[in-house]
Amino acid sequence: DAKTTQPPSMDCAEGRAANLPCNHSTISGNEYVYWYRQIHSQGPQYIIHGLKNNETNEMASLIITEDRKSSTLILPHATLRDTAVYYCIVRVTSGTYKYIFGTGTRLKVLA
Amino acid sequence: DTGVSQDPRHKITKRGQNVTFRCDPISEHNRLYWYRQTLGQGPEFLTYFQNEAQLEKSRLLSDRFSAERPKGSFSTLEIQRTEQGDSAMYLCASSLIWGANTGELFFGEGSRLTVL
């Protein structure tokens, strides 16, 4: 699976949009981009995923560049409860389907 | 609650003892994964099952570790002769893989192991 690169930490003011970048320059054509988050002492939680089109759900938006080498997770109105570690993962949707987690981005939402 | 459940949530043991963790996945999910997470790191893949078959094991899974999923339902992860380096959070996740389903993982809350 392709490796991803994320900044180790970010701060965001409460109520503002949080934009979390991810580089995945070696992504293959059949690999999806997934985002998970992990709130302290809990298991990771699925947020969103996409292949090449931008995606939006009730939690977040995912913007994938046209060359698919990077993506941005957008939390439109961050709240204190969004403070967590956010993981960007790329994986094929066949075979093992296993996820290879990096160290993620620790997002701190400030009051 | 129909999510992934893990038991026990916390386990403290002495070095050299055996420990066993149990995971109950979401009932219709055919895949079950075990991950290990240490402080400040992302989860590391250990092994996974499709139904009752164990299809892949990470090289992290030494011969002291064994996992089973009898009848393709719950799973157990046993660690024999525990070492202090085994102290970690052990996470279980399940997913449903079929057709075009992209199989996102649903994680349990984890079992935290402390080896003294």
pLDDT in tens, B52-93: 999 989 988 889 999 999 988 999 999 999 999 999 999 999
Are B45 and A99 in contact (CB < 8 Å)? yes
DSSP state for residue B29 in the 8-state scheme? -
Predicted confidence band at A3 (pLDDT cuts at 50, 70, 90)? confident
Q: End-to-end CA distance of chain B, in Å?
A: 33
| Distance from C-alpha of B43 to C-alpha of A23, rounded to nearest angstrom | 19
pLDDT at residue A98 above 90?
no
B50 reaches A (C-beta below 8 A): no
User: Which of B33, B47, B107 to mutate to test binding with chain A, by most A CBs within 10 Å of its CB?
Assistant: B107
Are A96 and B91 in contact (CB < 8 Å)? no
Judging contacts by C-beta atoms under 8 Å, the chain B residues touching residue A88 are none
Q: What angle do CA B65, B69, B75 make, to 5 degrees?
A: 75
Judging contacts by C-beta atoms under 8 Å, the chain A residues touching residue B41 are 103
| Distance from C-alpha of B69 to C-alpha of B47, rounded to nearest angstrom | 11
A86 reaches B (C-beta below 8 A): no
Predicted confidence band at B100 (pLDDT cuts at 50, 70, 90)? low
Given A36, A43, A49, which is nearest B110 (Cβ)? A43
Q: What is the secondary structure of A41-109 as a DSSP string? A: TS--EEEEEESSS-EE-SS-EEEE-TTSSEEEEEETT--GGG-EEEEEEEEESSTT--------EEEEE
| pLDDT, greater one: B103 or A37 | A37
- Average pLDDT of the residues of chain A: 91
pLDDT at residue A52 above 70?
yes
Mean pLDDT of B2-15: 95
Q: What local confidence, expressed as pLDDT, does residue B1 receive? A: 55
Q: What local confidence, expressed as pLDDT, does residue A99 receive? A: 84
Given A41, A97, A103, which is nearest B103 (Cβ)? A97
